[in-house]
Amino acid sequence: MGRYDLALIGFGGVNRALAELISRRGDRLARELGFTLRVVAITDLRAGSLVDTDGIDLAPLLAAEPGELNFAGLAGGSADPRNEWVIREVPADIVVEATFTNPADGEPALSHVRWALESGKHVCTTNKGPVALAGRALKQLAAEHGVSFEFEGSVLSGTPILRTAQRLFGGLEITGVQGILNGTSNYVLGRLEEGLDLPAAIAEAQDLGYAEADPTADIEGHDVQLKVMILANEVLGADLRRGDVFCEGISAITPQEVQDAASKGLRWKLVGSATRHEDGSVDARVAPLALPAHHPLAGISGPVNAVAFHTDLLGTVTVSGPGAGRIETAYALLSDLIAIHQRHADDDTTPTRPVLQETHRV
Ligand SMILES: NC(=O)c1ccc[n+]([C@@H]2O[C@H](COP(=O)([O-])OP(=O)(O)OC[C@H]3O[C@@H](n4cnc5c(N)ncnc54)[C@H](O)[C@@H]3O)[C@@H](O)[C@H]2O)c1
Ligand SMILES: N[C@@H](CCO)C(=O)O
């Protein structure tokens, strides 16, 4: 049975949930999937870094409160995240990037992904920044190094929207996509309809693990803007930059407006869309819309998200499922790990893992 050694970069809600999956369901996953997963390194801005090339014992880390983790006192631990050294030097097969999404320039996650691919390591990430802002270049870099760059969780968390479009829509022409692509704002709009004010609704979404570290990106539409770019680039063959996608969020919508609309059978939704024209150009935008009840996206509520694909042969096909959540997003990472296994299990060119120099361990 094969084994993949993982380096987890960022140990917040999502990568911690992946560690829980590995820790609690590892044996079952091994039986079902035919490979085992072992974590050999973790870095985090707050907790520091922890390296054990024989496999980190995850149980005590998962038993600790997230805010209390401090790797400095542990064998192989340091107060410094040492991301570049861990990514480049620790003999892991796959780097799992789940630090903060930075909608402006994708950093430092973009560098994390580059360092990993340049070092011949596969990458899976839920971080939208590198995928939206540099996806094409990163896929090229991965191909040059014979490794995979997987990012299913960057759109609709664990709901397999990108693989569905890429693998199951063969022979169809997709002419456009329209979606509810942010769990936080959709949850918040629902709570406004129920009478909560904006700050209280955002606080709930943060507690539930849906919101970004800075929820401005959720509320002002920048998170959806990145996801529209990913969908347009991956599914419609576009090459959009952030400035190409008009973006308006939901901060100006009052609870009263949401309630008045509901009384008329309308639902305010933050909608991201991209349309391909006959000349091949793609228009994309993010804006709140009051949708009538019969619209395929009107009934999508809470942290559930959906994408309606407009196609030539099937008309509109709508896929919905969780759009946010720690475990749901960790599942996206698991699906990426499975995809990497399926693509590379038979590689006879897999590089042997370099040996970590003891002097670098602490
Ligand atoms: N939570 C979700 O529902 C969800 C869904 C899809 C995608 N995502 C994306 O996944 C990523 C992780 O989400 P999360 O919910 O775990 O966020 P989180 O805020 O809970 O965790 C992020 C972690 O990364 C660490 N970190 C930040 N910068 C770092 C750096 N430079 N080096 C090392 N560690 C660093 C932080 O200390 C934190 O522990 C984000 O990019 C987010 O946009 C999240
Ligand atoms: N903050 C994001 C996480 C998923 O990308 C959301 O609420 O949809």
- Closest Cα to atom 21 of ligand 1: 12
ipTM tops the 0.95 cut: yes
pLDDT tens per residue, range 168-219: 999 999 999 999 999 999 999 999 999 999 999 999 999 999 999 899 999 9
CA 60 to chain centre: 26
CB count in 10 Å sphere of residue 349: 6
Query: How much of the chain exceeds pLDDT 90, in percent?
Result: 93
Question: Could you confirm whether 227 is annotated as catalytic?
Answer: yes
The mean per-residue pLDDT over the stretch 304-330 comes to: 97
Q: Is the CB of 125 under 6 A from ligand 2?
A: no
| C-alpha 12 – ligand 1 centre gap (Å) | 5
Question: Pick the catalytic residue: 121, 128, 139, 227?
Answer: 227
The rounded distance, in Å, linking the Cα atoms of 213 and 109 is 14
Q: Is the pLDDT of residue 352 over 80?
A: no
Q: Is the pLDDT of residue 358 over 60?
A: no
The mean per-residue pLDDT over the stretch 124-137 comes to: 98
**Contact status, residue 309 vs residue 155, Cβ threshold 8 Å:** no
Task: Tell which one of 14, 15, 65, 326 to mutate to probe ligand 1, the residue whose CB is within 8 A of the most ligand atoms.
Answer: 14
| C-alpha 186 – ligand 2 centre gap (Å) | 10
| C-alpha 329 – ligand 2 centre gap (Å) | 9
Q: Is the CB of 306 under 6 A from ligand 1?
A: no
| 289, β-bridge pairs | 269
Q: Is the CB of 328 under 6 A from ligand 2?
A: no
- Closest Cα to atom 3 of ligand 2: 324
Residue 353: the pLDDT is 56
pLDDT tens per residue, range 231-269: 999 999 999 999 999 999 999 999 999 999 999 999 999
The rounded distance, in Å, linking the Cα atoms of 342 and 355 is 26
Q: Taking Cα atoms as reference points, which of 338, 352, 362 lies closest to residue 163? A: 338
pTM of structure: 0.95
CA 222 to chain centre: 14
pLDDT tens per residue, range 44-68: 999 999 999 999 999 999 999 988 9
The rounded distance, in Å, linking the Cα atoms of 338 and 344 is 10
Backbone angles phi, psi at 149, to 5 degrees: -125, 110
Helix (H, G, I), strand (E, B) or coil at 78: strand
CB count in 10 Å sphere of residue 196: 16
The rounded distance, in Å, linking the Cα atoms of 194 and 105 is 36
